[in-house]
Homo-oligomer: A and B are copies of this chain.
Amino acid sequence: MKDLSNNTIERICKIFGYLDALQKKEIGFISSRELAQGLGTTEYTVRKDLSTLGVTGHTRRGYDVKLLKTQLGEKLHLTQKRKAGIVGLGRLGTALLDYEKFKVDGFEIVAGFDCSINKLERIRTQIDVFSVNDLKRVVAERHIELGIIAVPEAAAQNVADTLCAAGVKGILNFSPVKVTVPEGIVYLDMDFTNALRFIAARL
C-alpha cells in the first residue's frame, strides 16, 4: 500500500470514530455521501480515501459499517491496544488520567507521572502514579508507547526528551510550545489557543 497523506489519515481517523456512532445507532450500511456529510468533506474524497486503502463497498448499499471499521482498524494499525503515560498531573493531566473513553478506544493510560511528591500523594485515581524519576523504568516495564505531555510549557521540552530517551514512539503534547523530538518519533500538538486563533481568523 502506498503511503498515505496526513490528510487521508486524518479523515480516516475521523471516519473510524464516526463508525462507532453509526454502530450505536445500529446502522448497517453507509454511503460515501452520508459519510462525507458526517465528516464535512465530499463523497469523492471519501471514496478515493477508502479506495486508496483498498477497502471496498457494495453497489447500491454503500459500505458495511462493521466490516469497514474492522478494515480501517487493520490498515491503520488501530486494532492493537496501545499503552500510554501522562506526564504532568495538574488540572488537565488528571482530567485526562480519569477519562475512561481512551481505554474503550484502545488507548490505555497505564501510568501518570509528576515531579511533585506532594501532588502524587494527594491524587485520587485508579491509575498508578509515579515520580518522573521513575519514568524510564515504568515506561519500559509497562511497555508504554505513547507519551502525553501535560506539564507547564517551561518543562515540556525536558519532558519530551525524557520520554524519548525512555523509548516512547509517539508524543501528544498539550503544552502550548512546540517541542522537538528525534527523527522517527511521531509528534502531535494539541494547542487549544491555536484552535481558538484559527476560529477567530475564520470569523
Task: Flag if B177 contacts A105 (CB, 8 Å).
Answer: no
Identify which of residues 171-202 in chain A touch chain B, using a CB-to-CB cut-off of 8 Å.
171-172, 176-178, 186, 188, 190-202
Q: Are B188 and A198 in contact (CB under 8 A)?
A: yes
Copies of the polypeptide in the assembly:
2
Query: Which chain B positions have C-beta within 8 A of A197?
Result: 13, 16-17, 76, 78, 105
Contact A9–B196 (Cβ < 8 Å) = no
Q: How many residues of A contact B (CB 8 A)?
A: 55
A66 within 8 A of B: no
Complex-state Cα separation, A82 to B95, whole angstroms: 26
A200 near B14 (CB under 8 angstroms)?
no
B96 contacts A192, C-beta separation under 8 Å? yes
Inter-chain contact B95/A196, CB cutoff 8 Å: no
A39's nearest neighbour on chain B, judged by CB, is B178
Task: Check A107–B196 contact: CB distance below 8 A.
Answer: yes
